[in-house]
Amino acid sequence: MRSSRSLRRLAPVALLALALALAACSDPQTTVDPKSNFADDIQFVYLLTFWLGMAVFIGILALTVGLAFWYRERPGRVAKQIHGNTRLEIVWTLIPVVLVVIMAVPTWQVIADSSKPAPGDALRVNAIGHQWWFEFQYDLDNDGEYDDLITANELHIPAGRPVTFNLLSDDVIHSFWVPQLAGKVDMVPGHANDLWFTPHEDAARAEAYLGQCAEFCGTAHANMRFRVFVDTPEGFAAWVANEQADGAEPADELALMGQELFLTPVWTLPGGGGGILGCTGCHTVAGAPGAVGRIGPNLTHVGSRSTIAAGILDTNFENLVAWISNPDREKPGADYNDDTARFMPAFETVLTREQIEAIAVYLLGLQ
Amino acid sequence: MATVAGTMAAPTAEGVVWSWLTTVDHKRIGILYGVTAFIFFLIGGLEALAIRAQLAVPNGGVIDPELYNQLFTMHALTMIFLAVMPLGAAFFNFMIPLMIGARDVAFPRLNALSYWIFLAGGLVLTSSFFLGGAPDTGWFAYAPISGGAYSGSGMDYYVIGLLILGLSSLAAALNFAVTIINMRAPGMTMMRMPVFVWMTLIVAFLLILALPVLTVALVQLLFDRQYTTSFFLPSGGGDPILWQHLFWIFGHPEVYILILPAMGIVSEVLPTFSRKPLFGYAAMVFAGVAIGFLGWAVWSHHMFTTGLGAVPRVVFATSTMIIGVPTGIKIFNWLSTMWGGSIRFTTAMYFSVSFIALFTIGGISGVMHASPPVDQQQQDTYFIVAHLHYVLVGGAIVGLFSGLYYWWPKMTGRFLSETLGKWNFWLMFIGLNMTFFPMHFLGVAGMPRRIYTYDAGLGWEFWNMFASVGALILAIGVLVFVINVARTMRQPKTAGDNPWDGSTLEWATSSPPPEHDFDAIPEVRARDPLWYDRDHGLSQPEGDPDEHIHMPPPSYYPLILAFGVLLLGIGPLSHLAVTALGVPVVIYAIWGWVLEPTE
Amino acid sequence: MATAEHHVAHHSVTGIDNRKLLMWIFLGSECLFFGALISTYLIFKADIPAPPISFIEAHTHVENGHEVVTGWFPVDRVIDDVYVNEDGSFREVEFAGVLDIPITSQSTFVLLMSSVTMVLAVYGAQHGRLLSMKVWLLATILLGLIFLGYQVYEFRLFGSEGLTLETNQFGASFFVLTGFHGTHVFVGVLILTSLLLASFRRSGLGPEAGFHVETAGLYWHFVDIVWIVIFTIIYLIPA
């Protein structure tokens, strides 16, 4: 995207704008503090349209207020009976035409740039929207199979290397949006959209970039969030190595009890009114026998993620206990359609508090 | 009057209630539209206040997500289909025949039918709240979330309600298109029509051409939900993007359907109170026509993030930006109408002048996200919420309020209080800017739309609270209008024929106008006929007081037919037997309709 | 009828009667209605040869280790083909043609003829030849009913062969499009039948008989023209 970059250098006003826009940059989900090449390009067009729009607005506001004040009714004033003025009208037809051209050309440029295929060395990731969480599948060995690393709701990418996403959906339309890294692209079931960008070399930081589903997708749409960690290349390699390992074995008695509970295939409801699937019916923990469910998030390294439940709860003991006990209480809608077995049931109906705590300890140990 | 066997005698004028239920008088129908739409406007406003209450603080606990999703969906549907569109229709009904110098619309009974079907559709849509839950997938009802697997019975009310409302709008649009084309007074050529009439004509054609596309989409959605087809469901090989195309091919012209009436009103109010003719009349008309045409070539700008290819994005971005040109022409012409004038600042004028600035804000933000890359950051954020509310509240609603203050004396013979009017204006003006301007900041700070909750610490707390306070002030402003209306009803009818010294034909008859509108059909000699007459010492023809003017008698059949249509619609929502019951009602109504003497 | 409207009609600015103008504008609206339905059909049809062929696919089963896909192909021909998937596996595609062009050509001819009889009915009505008007109206109604008969036959045949609304996108878009067209023909038959019945009253169709029949004829011709478009697009243009 060299050409639009040079355009940007030629526009010092953009720098001034950037300084002013920094006021909004302290907001963690801000759209005006770009950290990738694509976000930079968007920012350039945004600032261009913003300042043009500002100029037009101030002009029209001044005219509206000025004319209204100047030509208000006063003794002796007689309204001039003017029907029009062709020359003036041509002028103000041309003004918007010129403004449109100024905005359209860089727009076309950025569309063309962002529609180019991703560079060959790009990191390849499937991002799949589910009601209401994000699944990420990496193709690290470039064999076309997105099976090298599977995680949920927290994405790690290396700084300075292009990353390209296949955006997919498992149910309804979602939208993949990390404002500081890229504009949103929808995840449409039956369509494979893509998106690529290169995070800045200096974008690596410990703090996550916040992302959120941006297309209305049902009850818990507001709680469908995710985080993107831009790592240094070394940090990314370390993360990959850890993620590709099997889930940690339980470290103590309690965790071991938790693992046993976790691996129980079916729980009978008290009173014998049928049963509900155990954790492994939906979740995978690599290395744990039988834990190969693919309906819910992969939990192999859930303890190492900063949040659970699609970015709404910090990963800690209390939150895990609360979540397993009754997900719907933490995230309304999480169990709204039990009969499809696609949502997480409230395990407090079949497990004791102690049992749930044991599972939480086991999960926290899956670093 | 002879009664054809088996049909009812035409209603007599006795009884206030029956006279309104059976009226075919365009002015009364206009009032029915206005009152009903205003009630729906208040309901939609309450829905908005509930939303603002929930969002005032992070992790708000006022309403649960299910209800929240119903509220934002119904807020949009109510405001668009049950408030702004019919408020426009109220003015079309009351004013168009008067402004073109006609005694009624082309099809008075069809006009009554439009109203009653509108009421039926509004009731179907709103009743869903009490019958298993309102639609909850957003007014755009994107597949597959609008399919049976992901949403409840509310979506059936959505489909049926919008189909019924579409029928009403189609009937009304056909009626007004014919009325405007065919029933203008002698001398009123197309290029002498008031701009409001022009905008109505454009709106009528937009409706006539856009509604069938929505109808097809809704029927296909109905089939997907009820008969397991898969037009839009990817699980069965369908295409969710097809729904988006069909919906927005309707949906974007719909935006102009909402805003053009307000532009028409402003184009009447500004010249009257500036005491000079509209600047650049021809450009104004052609700009409106151009917006109407271009409105068909921009629908995919609602879909920039759906994975459209580069070429469609370039094309739709460009066509969308080009709409800025005729819009710019309109804004400059309004401003120039004030230039050199002697401006009287009545409440109507306050609203119209503020319309220019507020609509400009909405227009500019619209051009910003006409650029697909920018839209990729702004789409589905509060920036869009800010944009559309500047267009629909700052534009359409403010324009309609201007019309209410402007034409109130004509419609009722009474003036609304100017003092309360100024309170009304300033509260609404401050309230709407407080509510909607900060939404730009929220959008830029990354706040998505249609979320019922958000965390603290994202920088969204202050402006959300600010906007919620603004919404309250806006609501108080509307309340002042209600008080103003209640108060004016006890005032004497002191408005003369032409209290504002307006130039158009509606000011040539009494306030309120007689049932037959004009004692004698007016003659039009220039674009601003009453000013031309005034300046040239001419006068409109006097009517012969002894002449009996035939007006179409009231009729039961529009009401009965609308009831039959309501039964047809309730069937798929309850039991098909209800539809079966509706069929004979409809047949009976049409039979009686056709055979009814209208002399 | 309608003296008030009558009165107005005399003052028509364009010289066209309000009711006829209404019909013309309404037909404009109908164009968009059928346009949207036809577009839906075409968009799904654009799916055809490249798998996944959801437009015409009905059943997939595994036979001798490879997928066999069967379904309906709209045009009257048989597709028997093999597609090799990216992973080397292959799928065999067997599609039977379902549309019978000769039969539907007959029904199309019937509908075209009904436009001719409609013209004759309008001519009769406008020139006061009331018997001729009645006869040709009756002929138009009968031809319309025969067309509908063909359509019922076709729908039932497809149903018995297993192609329904639910089968695939072809079934859905075909039945909804032709079904709505058939409904329009049916409404036209109702209108013409009402006119025919009313013409037997003592006062007949009144002084405006020619006008009424002509306006109904506008609608009838429009519905015919739409059928020509549908017939061309669904039956005649191969995939």
Which of C4, C26, C169 has its CB closest to that of B230?
A: C169
Q: What is the mean pLDDT of residues A345-361?
A: 92
Between CA B343 and CA B272 the distance in angstroms is: 9
Given the residues B47, B224, B254, B533, the one annotated as active site? B254
Q: How far lies B499's CA from each of A325, B412, B457, B493, in Å?
A: 71, 12, 56, 12
Show residues of chain A in contact with B275, CB under 8 Å: 79
**C28 inside 8 A of chain B by CB:** yes
Percent of the residues in chain C that have a pLDDT greater than 90, as a whole number: 51
Per residue in A50-79, pLDDT (tens digit) is 999 999 999 999 999 999 999 999 998 888
Is B548 catalytic? The answer is no
**B229 inside 8 A of chain C by CB:** yes
- Mean pLDDT value across chain B: 93
**B153 inside 8 A of chain C by CB:** no
What pLDDT does C51 receive?
44
Please tell me which of A269-283, A329-343, B127-141, C63-77 the model is most confident about, judged by mean pLDDT.
B127-141
Is the pLDDT at A342 greater than 90? The verdict is: no
Of B174-178, C96-100, C218-222, the poorest mean pLDDT is in C96-100
What pLDDT does C74 receive?
64
- The angle that helices A317-325 and A353-365 make with each other, rounded to 10 degrees, is 130
* Exposed / middle / buried, residue B8 (Cβ in 10 Å: 0-12, 13-18, 19+): middle
More confident residue, B4 or B184: B184
Per residue in B268-306, pLDDT (tens digit) is 999 999 999 999 999 999 999 999 999 999 999 999 999
Between CA B98 and CA B516 the distance in angstroms is: 10
Is B550 catalytic? The answer is no
Show residues of chain A in contact with B277, CB under 8 Å: 81-83
What pLDDT does C11 receive?
66
Is the pLDDT at C4 greater than 70? The verdict is: no
Residue C64 contacts by C-beta under 8 Å, 6 or more apart in sequence?
Answer: none
What secondary structure does DSSP assign to A330-365, as a single string? HSTTTTTTGGGT-S---GGGTS-HHHHHHHHHHHHH
Is the pLDDT at B129 greater than 80? The verdict is: yes
B285 has which bridge partners? Answer: none
Query: Could you count the other beta carbons within 10 Å of the beta carbon of residue B9?
Result: 11
Between CA C234 and CA C76 the distance in angstroms is: 11
Percent of the residues in chain C that have a pLDDT greater than 70, as a whole number: 79
Q: 3-state DSSP call for residue B98?
A: helix
Chains that touch A (3 or more CB pairs under 8 A): B
Show residues of chain B in contact with C30, CB under 8 Å: 212
The first and second tokens of residue A230, run together, are: 């831009």
User: How far out from the chain centre does Cα C29 lie?
Assistant: 16
Residue B487 contacts by C-beta under 8 Å, 6 or more apart in sequence?
Answer: B417, B420
User: Closest by alpha carbon to B222, among A166, A251, C179?
Assistant: C179
Is the pLDDT at A294 greater than 50? The verdict is: yes
What secondary structure does DSSP assign to B31-85, as a single string? HHHHHHHHHHHHHHHHHHHHHHHHHSSTT--SS-HHHHHHHHHHHHHIIIIIIIH
Contact between B56 and B435 (Cβ < 8 Å) = no
Question: Which residue stretches of chain A are H helix?
Answer: 2-9, 12-21, 37-70, 86-115, 233-244, 253-263, 317-325, 327-330, 353-365
What pLDDT does C6 receive?
39
E-assigned strands of B91-212?
Answer: none
What pLDDT does C9 receive?
41
Q: 3-state DSSP call for residue A176?
A: strand
Is the pLDDT at B405 greater than 80? The verdict is: yes
What pLDDT does C53 receive?
53
Is the pLDDT at B3 greater than 60? The verdict is: no
Between CA B443 and CA A50 the distance in angstroms is: 14
The 10 Å CB-count burial string (b at 16+, else e) for B510-549 is bbbbeebbbbebbbbbbbbbbbbbeeeeeebeeeeeeeeb
User: Closest by alpha carbon to B200, among B292, B72, B324, B331?
Assistant: B292
Per residue in A217-252, pLDDT (tens digit) is 999 999 999 999 999 999 999 999 999 999 999 989
- For chain B, how long is the longest CA-to-CA vector? 77
Percent of the residues in chain B that have a pLDDT greater than 90, as a whole number: 85
Contact between B512 and B410 (Cβ < 8 Å) = yes
Q: Chain A residue closest to B322 (CA)?
A: A100
Q: What is the mean pLDDT of residues C148-173?
A: 88
Place of tokens 């023909």: C185
Which of B102, B108, B229 has its CB closest to that of C172?
A: B229
Q: How far lies A172's CA from each of B105, B150, B240, in Å?
A: 46, 8, 9
Q: What is the mean pLDDT of residues B124-128?
A: 95
The first and second tokens of residue C48, run together, are: 């055809």
User: Closest by alpha carbon to A104, among B363, B252, B374, B443?
Assistant: B374
Which of B107, B208, B230 has its CB closest to that of C172?
A: B230
Split at pLDDT 50, 70, 90, the class of C2 is very low
Between CA C17 and CA B96 the distance in angstroms is: 19
Q: What is the mean pLDDT of residues A191-197?
A: 93
Per residue in B526-551, pLDDT (tens digit) is 999 999 999 999 988 887 766 778 88
Between CA B15 and CA A121 the distance in angstroms is: 82
User: How far out from the chain centre does Cα A159 lie?
Assistant: 17
* Exposed / middle / buried, residue A301 (Cβ in 10 Å: 0-12, 13-18, 19+): buried
Contact between B553 and B10 (Cβ < 8 Å) = yes
Per residue in C139-149, pLDDT (tens digit) is 999 999 999 99
Between CA B423 and CA B487 the distance in angstroms is: 14
User: Closest by alpha carbon to C232, among C108, C146, C97?
Assistant: C108
Is the pLDDT at B509 greater than 70? The verdict is: yes
Which of A50, A71, A217 has its CB closest to that of B368?
A: A50
Show residues of chain A in contact with B376, CB under 8 Å: 42, 182-185
Per residue in B200-258, pLDDT (tens digit) is 999 999 999 999 999 999 999 999 998 888 899 988 888 999 999 999 999 999 999 99
Is the pLDDT at B355 greater than 80? The verdict is: yes
What pLDDT does C106 receive?
95
Contact between A204 and A231 (Cβ < 8 Å) = yes
Contact C169 B170 (CB under 8 A): no
Per residue in B435-455, pLDDT (tens digit) is 999 999 999 999 999 999 999
Per residue in A3-27, pLDDT (tens digit) is 444 444 445 444 444 444 555 557 8
Contact A104 B318 (CB under 8 A): yes
Q: How far lies A129's CA from each of A8, A195, A310, B146, B222, in Å?
A: 34, 14, 11, 17, 26
What pLDDT does A266 receive?
85
What pLDDT does B8 receive?
66
Per residue in C5-30, pLDDT (tens digit) is 434 444 688 889 999 999 999 999 99
Is the pLDDT at B343 greater than 80? The verdict is: yes
Per residue in C93-151, pLDDT (tens digit) is 776 677 888 889 999 999 999 999 999 999 999 998 989 999 999 999 999 999 999 99
Is the pLDDT at A153 greater than 50? The verdict is: yes
Between CA A366 and CA A361 the distance in angstroms is: 9
Contact A41 B373 (CB under 8 A): yes
What pLDDT does C79 receive?
63
More confident residue, A246 or C78: A246
- Mean pLDDT value across chain C: 84
